[in-house]
Amino acid sequence: MTPVLLLTDGYIANGSEPWKIKSINDMPSITHRQVKGGDPEKWLPYNRDAKTLAREWAIPGTKGFEHRVGGLEKNKTTGNVSHDPENHEYMTKIRAEKVQRVQNSIPNLKADFNEEGDLLVIGWGGTYGSLHSATKTLSAEGYKIGHAHFNYINPFPKNTTELFSKFKKIIICELNNGQLKFMLNATFPEFKYAQFNKIQGLPFGVSELTQKFKSLIK
């Protein structure tokens, strides 16, 4: 019941290794809050679930449950078109809160190799392999370094602040000009972030990553 954007990058698009796509039958079921019956006179299309803030949907045209659909903002309970300023403020905040509550359904962020230490390597998308390999190499050499890869950006995992606080330094590695760093700065401004960016249409090399990480730790 919440909009989802899947972020990917050129490295994944240009990769040569295939992977198997799961069958829908092997994936978790998606259950909608859909009207199955009841008294149409008591139904309000904009009532929300107390936990998720998701609305109960009636398929347009369902007998007795006809209601207005479309892009115009609606009243917070009746679903009628509303131009009321206070209702607009409420609806803006409740939509943002609904997205934020997705945190309750996504896994915590984990650091591979070391859960605390001198340096936390941050990445997302197709940089995983290079970052994971470089961190693994340095960890095997005795460096207190961890690697955390974001699969969820908005909202961020609930424990992001807790994990970041366990490392002395944090570096964000991206094959762009720093979009993730921009978001982390805005959401978690209490931390300082080093950057390693590459915008050459080429992936990170493990050797260049290990050299960068060593210089930060030292």
CA angle 146, 149, 155 (to 5 degrees): 125
> Which pTM does this prediction carry?
0.84
| Portions of the chain given CATH number 3.40.50.920 | 117-217
Long-range contacts: 134-142, Cβ < 8 Å, 24+? 134/204, 134/206, 134/209, 134/210, 134/213, 135/213, 136/112, 137/206, 137/210, 138/210, 138/213, 138/214, 139/113, 139/114
Angstrom distance (rounded) from CA 171 to CA 193: 6
Q: What is the pLDDT of residue 202?
A: 87
Name the token pair of 158.
């609930």
- At the top level of CATH, which class does the domain 117-217 belong to? alpha beta
Asked if residue 155 has a cis previous peptide bond (ω within 30° of 0), the answer is yes
Average pLDDT per 10 consecutive residues for the chain, totaling 218 residues:
75 70 88 86 92 89 89 93 97 95 95 98 93 98 98 96 98 95 97 96 94 96
Q: What is the pLDDT of residue 176?
A: 92
Q: What is the pLDDT of residue 5?
A: 82
Q: What is the pLDDT of residue 126?
A: 87
Q: What is the pLDDT of residue 72?
A: 93
Q: What is the pLDDT of residue 33?
A: 85
